[in-house]
Structure 1
Amino acid sequence: MPELPAAREIEGSGVRPASSGTLTYGVAVGEVLGVPALAGAQVVAGARGLDRVVQRLNVMEVPDILPWVKPHELLLTTGYPLRHTPQVLSQLVADLDERGLAALGIKLGRYIDELPPQMLATADQMGFPIILLPNDVGFDDILNQVLTDILNRQAAVLARSEEVHRALVQIVLAGGGLKEVADELVRLFGGAVLIVAADGEVLAQSGSPEDLAAARASRYVHPSGRVRLERLPLAGERQRPTPRGERAVVAVPIVAGGTDHGRIVAFSPDGVSEAPDVLTLERAATVAALVITKQLAVSAVESKYQTDFLHDLISGRTGGPERAITHSAWLGWDIARPLVVVVAELDPAPGDRHAAQVGELRVQERLAAAWTAAVRARDPKAAVVGFTQEVVALVGVPQRGGLDRLLREIVTQVAAETRVLRRSFSTGVSRVVGGPEGLPAAYEQARRAVAVGRQIHGPGALADFDSLGVYRLLSLIPDSDELRAFVRETLGELATRDDEETQDLRRTLRVLLETNLNVAETARRLHFHYNTLRYRIGKLERMLGPFTGDPHLRLNLTLALHVVAMRGL
């Protein structure tokens, strides 16, 4: 045999798809042993790793081989470089395994008589196959036969992949969507296929009821039905053995224009431990990206039309109730029924204002998506649109009552889904209107409820316009300085000081006014002794005037306390 270079690498036309970046194709070590040149080879250690993939072949003729090896190589050697230091063989196995090699083939007898037990133990522990090569077979025969097998298999895989790709593209050209893509993959592989969004939501699925049930019961799917993307074994990653009784699963990313749109997740059929062909799945991912991109483009146009039309609805510019009802029905909305207008608005972000604006559009989009999902789940004919600064929904009033409960359920769900954004939102609800002609006024009511609710209760408030009471009137005063001046003139020291004693006196005054000067009831609520409360009343009258006998002063004091309760003035 002619002398070979120190690290001569011979490889097939392995495909490295851009979507995974690390995926290689080749022949399993166990199958490589089936070529005629290796008919007499023996696996003396690491038999657990016979499913490792061989894509390349390399010949070791120098001791420092590590800088020259690559993943998925079958490394061949006569042991000549290690004839004086056979004790390093055990560490060599560990180093080769760490670099992702497939196996080590070695000839004994000429330079090394036997393999150290520690080397074999290390190989068994790591599942790294050690193959004793026949002495009468040259490396060139092994190289040629294995390389030919790899090339032939890769050619067959690529040909089949191209055929599958044409079939999938034809589905899209014929108007099919993600469901049809999933159906085609199931036809090819069997088992179950899930096409999921970047947040784990299942967009399409296919497979028999049994296969789908097994997929949903796997550790990769949350009980809510969302796929746990962080647990999925991506194509190209080094896989752990599939646990006994569990079907093999492989996931490929759906990427378009640098944007992650989700995953195609394929579960092998019942009783099959091998995962579906990854190259075909990646072809399908390319087609799925095309479908999703098309859907996003259509959705963007529809969203723009919905946004414009809802803006016209709440502005009263739709050309009459009948036209508004007809166009709304075409969009899937029912506005010919009792409705409330709901407005949700992000609360101001704390901290640096410029920093808070970074990603504001993304946060607003997530808020709109969460509101759309929560509302449509309870009222499929509701209109929900996200504007630049707010989300507006036209929600039908339940026939059997329970509007307050319905709205609180929606707000609770949206708050839970957007908690990761670390931004709260306030919500305002209008009065009930009977048709499209009342929507402009209802929209203004809901906006007013948002602003006043946040002033009274702080961020995250849910306020009904009818429950605002006197706050609604106070919020109509545009001059905040005038309101603050009124508070200072009416409450005096109770407005200008904010120590604990002053807060306690304000609380006492508020409860007194709420109970219509019922001293016994006020003492009970505040847990004061009757005489203690009488002393406090005297102190308050010395500070504020004889309010116990002056109804006009009591009115002024009540209004001033309401203004104090309004935040953001």
Structure 2
Amino acid sequence: MWYNAMQCLNEIAFVIIVKFVGNTLSYITKIHKGGDCMLIRDVMDIMEPLQGYFLCGHEGNEREVTCVEVMEVPNLEDWVEKGTLVLTTFYSVKASPISQLQLIKILIEKNAAGLIVKLGRFISELPKEAIELAQKFQFPIIILPSNIPYIQVLSPIYKKLNVTNGKLMEPFSTNLPETVEQLLNELYENYGIVSYVENPEGKLLAIGHYAINDTWRNNNLLFSRHLQQDTFYDEFLYQEEVFIADKENLNRFVAPLFYKGHLYGVFHFTYRSKKQRDILTFDLMSEYIKKFQLTLLNELLALQNDLLYNRVELKELYEHQYELNHIILLHIEGPEEIYTMKHNFFIDYSLFVFKHLRLVLQSLPASKNIYFLQHPEQTCILLSFQNATTDSVIQKQLEAALMDSYIRHYVMAIGTPFKTMTELESQLDHVIKIMPIGRKLYPNERVFSYNRLGIYKFLISLSNHEQVLQYVDKILGPLDKVLLHTLEVYLSQNGNASKTAKLLYVNRRTVTLRLKKIQELCQVDLQDSESIFILNFCLKIKDIH
């Protein structure tokens, strides 16, 4: 089943501010102040025109604000810090005044800057004890009217905290390309040098718009691994300074990229001739290494900020149940190994996925808005269109855009059009069920649409009925995994026990004994066409659900 949609909308991403010190990089997550000091009274200057007001703790209006968080999950201990200004609707603890009080206690203990609460949507008032506690410690609690979108508060706060439109303030944005791909293209166009960057596992992070085929790597797919069984990256692990290694046997120079002494990437400068090798001077490569790191950080900042705005806007749509023109959900899956990549504390790999998915979706001619619903194991995208469209039209457009991208190894499922956000939960469940069926019916395709599922369209609808699920459990529940798999293979081979035995790598007698056991447990006759129909039906429903 799909995870709770509100949880998804509440998992807000945050901006990264960075600085470059010598050859090392320093950064912090969340939206942090850059220049002038911001105080709670400055926040009130923003809030008052929006009819915001102090509920209590106005004596704390000189508290300093160093970062801002939009958060609904209750585990404040994990992320809140001194100077944090928290915006919330108290959704996750709406039914528990005790938990609301506990959250405010944690904010006070952590010396947070203050709390902005949206009353009216999920709670109508704060517990009396919470207000008294905040007043005692002069902890500001500010009320935001429920009809005011978060973005109207966040935008001016970001500007005050020196974050503007997702760009780093000067000097970081000076003479830098917008993306790392543009930087690598510049190196290729100016000098004919093919270059790319991999993570410590040897998986591709960035490459320009050119083909690649050498002894180390032969494709440009995002997060694809290089060709070599072994890697020389281990020799870089404990370095703390940028240096450039000559790997002449591989026709390249390589430079490890560090954050606080930890390796997060390796820059490859390849060459095909002595002339190209001579072009790659230490100064030239050092310049591009520095530019890459600054451009990467600039881009991460922009992506984080874009994702934040995207999710805040989606949250507002969900809370107020706005009606859009035409909405279609996409379910996205990458190769399985992507979900097992080692965590990198410096780079959020999901931002690279967000970036390339957005490029693919922005190429759709009729799309109006794109909203991302992300989860560690699931990614869904909500598309709204100005005019009516069909999933078959979108499928053709997506197939073309996907094949021209760095994520053409990804797979997408397209749901059916709908109009209101009240349908979001059911539509999420619906689109996720399309993916496994599409993979099964069309194993060589990358985009699946609901209208091409044939009879499975009706099975998806039936799989949501409790009575149907109870019936399936009654029929198949007695079978263990071995018997269930045997039944699946037997039916797929049209009841041929010999072929079943061959596929299961067992003798025919073993299959016969298993089939006899299945008939006894399920109380069916495998020679009866009605029983075969029932078993096939139950297996398909189980497969979908």
TM-score, with normalisation over the residues of structure 2? 0.40
TM-score, with normalisation over the residues of structure 1? 0.38
Select the structure that is richer in helix. 1
Select the structure that is richer in strand. 2
